[in-house]
């Protein structure tokens, strides 16, 4: 009882940040006290939508105003810009002594990620990456059933994300980037692979561009060999035409030495036992009132991630996807592009 309200500022009032703001407003004990976007129209839009008075078009000015001497008005910053801004904003926030949440894909390169992680540590601030897919209810339940040992030791996995959803409409920059599906979406699926099977010893990858109107790859198929011996296939596509498009669901198959798991489309988790029985669980999302189809699994996971971040802060622990942890997910993305270019399996870098 009587716990102090944790105060945050949002930088980047774009398409996805709306979900983050809705989630902050739903959570108790946290308040977003200021907004920043270099685009005054986006700022005005968010100011009106969320009723927040304090707005800034420049992050430096915002930190100076909120964290100056005698003004301990800010505990954390939620960086929801696209990646290019991370290199300047993360050190700026770290120097002002506030904890940092930052959207994926973090930093833009492994070298930059390493530099930013070190700077946060040197300034004594926590760095959490907003990696939410492992917080989707269906994915989370799959992770928990596996971790509880229900199917014994896993030896094979497949995480499949195949859709033809028009992601370019709300996120037009995705059509322009040279690196598309692995860096934008595969990063989440690779993070799920790490959450399920641990670190990756080596991987191979093939990519394709099916949509002629974009610059990057919209199809990627990866094979991962994990430290613990699991072989996993991660396959992603935004070029797959399906009448019952599953966007944005990840479908999961895991075979273990004592059973198998199948996360089917439309949120059914099957737990197959060694003796032949099958336990079926309804793992559909329990989406927040503000969520909209087809985004509800993601929107629910934004709320779940932010709720866990808040809980972690209160208990003085790190979130699962803290900076060093996410470095290893980013390393899989980098390795995937290297493997695709070389048509060879490669060894991903790892945080040390």
Where does this chain bind ligand NAD (CB under 6 A)? Answer: 11-17, 36-39, 42, 59, 80-83, 85, 89, 103-104, 130, 132, 171, 184, 298
Q: Which does 85 bind (CB under 5 to 8 A by kind): ligand 89Y, ligand NAD, none?
A: ligand NAD
To ligand NAD, the closest distance from the beta carbon of 274 in angstroms equals 36
Please give the C-alpha separations between residue 20 and each of 32, 259, 333, 344, in angstroms, as whole numbers: 10, 37, 24, 39
SS3 345: coil
Q: Which does 167 bind (CB under 5 to 8 A by kind): ligand NAD, ligand 89Y, none?
A: ligand 89Y
Q: Which is nearer to ligand 89Y, 43 or 185 (CB)?
A: 185
Q: Which is nearer to ligand 89Y, 34 or 167 (CB)?
A: 167
Which of 120, 138, 182, 185 contacts ligand 89Y by CB under 6 A?
185
DSSP 106: P
Q: Distance between CA atoms of 95 and 109, rounded to whole angstroms?
A: 21
To ligand 89Y, the closest distance from the beta carbon of 272 in angstroms equals 29
Q: Which is nearer to ligand 89Y, 95 or 179 (CB)?
A: 179
Q: Which residue has the tokens 């273990």?
A: 256
Q: Which does 130 bind (CB under 5 to 8 A by kind): ligand NAD, ligand 89Y, none?
A: ligand NAD
Q: Distance between CA atoms of 296 and 285, rounded to whole angstroms?
A: 7
- Cβ 222 vs Cβ 204: under 8 Å: yes
To ligand 89Y, the closest distance from the beta carbon of 23 in angstroms equals 15
- Number of other CB atoms surrounding residue 56 within 10 Å: 20
- Cβ 274 vs Cβ 262: under 8 Å: no
Q: According to DSSP H, which parts of 96-136 are helical?
A: 110-122
Q: Which is nearer to ligand NAD, 41 or 343 (CB)?
A: 41
SS3 213: coil
* Both tokens assigned to 168: 């370019």
Which of 167, 190, 234, 236 contacts ligand 89Y by CB under 6 A?
167
Query: Which residues inside 194-253 make contact with ligand 89Y, applying CB under 6 A?
Result: 248
Torsional class of 343: left (φ above 0), alpha (ψ -120 to 50), beta (otherwise): left
To ligand 89Y, the closest distance from the beta carbon of 105 in angstroms equals 9
Contact residues: ligand 89Y, CB under 6 A: 167, 171, 184-185, 188, 248
């Amino acid at each position: 009882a009587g716990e102090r309200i944790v105060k945050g500022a949002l930088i980047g009032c774009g398409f996805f940040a709306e979900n983050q703001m809705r989630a902050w407003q739903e959570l108790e004990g946290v308040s977003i006290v200021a907004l920043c976007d270099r685009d005054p129209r986006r700022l005005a839009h968010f100011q009106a939508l969320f009723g927040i008075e304090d707005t800034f078009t420049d992050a430096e000015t915002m930190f100076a105003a909120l964290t100056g001497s005698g003004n301990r008005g800010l505990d954390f910053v939620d960086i929801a810009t696209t990646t290019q801004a991370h290199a300047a904003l993360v050190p700026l926030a770290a120097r002002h002594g506030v904890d940092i949440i930052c959207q994926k894909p973090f930093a833009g390169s492994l070298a930059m990620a390493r530099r930013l992680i070190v700077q946060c540590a040197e300034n004594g601030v926590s760095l959490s990456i907003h990696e939410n897919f492992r917080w989707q209810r269906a994915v989370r339940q799959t992770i928990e059933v596996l971790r509880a040992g229900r199917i014994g030791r896993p030896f094979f996995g497949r995480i499949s994300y195949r859709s033809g959803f028009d992601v370019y409409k709300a996120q037009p920059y995705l059509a322009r980037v040279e690196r598309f599906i692995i860096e934008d979406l595969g990063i989440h699926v690779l993070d799920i692979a790490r959450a399920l099977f641990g670190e990756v010893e080596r991987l191979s990858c093939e990519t394709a561009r099916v949509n002629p109107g974009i610059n990057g790859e919209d199809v990627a198929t990866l094979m991962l060999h994990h430290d613990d011996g699991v072989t996993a296939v991660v396959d992603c596509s935004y070029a797959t035409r399906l009448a019952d498009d599953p966007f944005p669901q990840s479908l999961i198959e895991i075979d273990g030495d004592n059973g198998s798991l199948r996360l089917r489309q439309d949120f059914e988790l099957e737990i197959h036992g060694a003796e032949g029985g099958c336990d079926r669980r309804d793992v559909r999302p329990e989406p927040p009132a503000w969520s909209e189809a087809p985004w509800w699994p993601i929107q629910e996971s934004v709320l779940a991630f932010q709720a866990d971040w808040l809980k972690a802060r209160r208990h003085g622990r790190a979130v699962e996807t803290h900076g060093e942890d996410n470095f290893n997910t980013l390393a899989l993305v980098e390795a995937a592009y290297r493997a695709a270019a070389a048509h060879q399996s490669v060894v991903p870098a790892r945080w040390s």
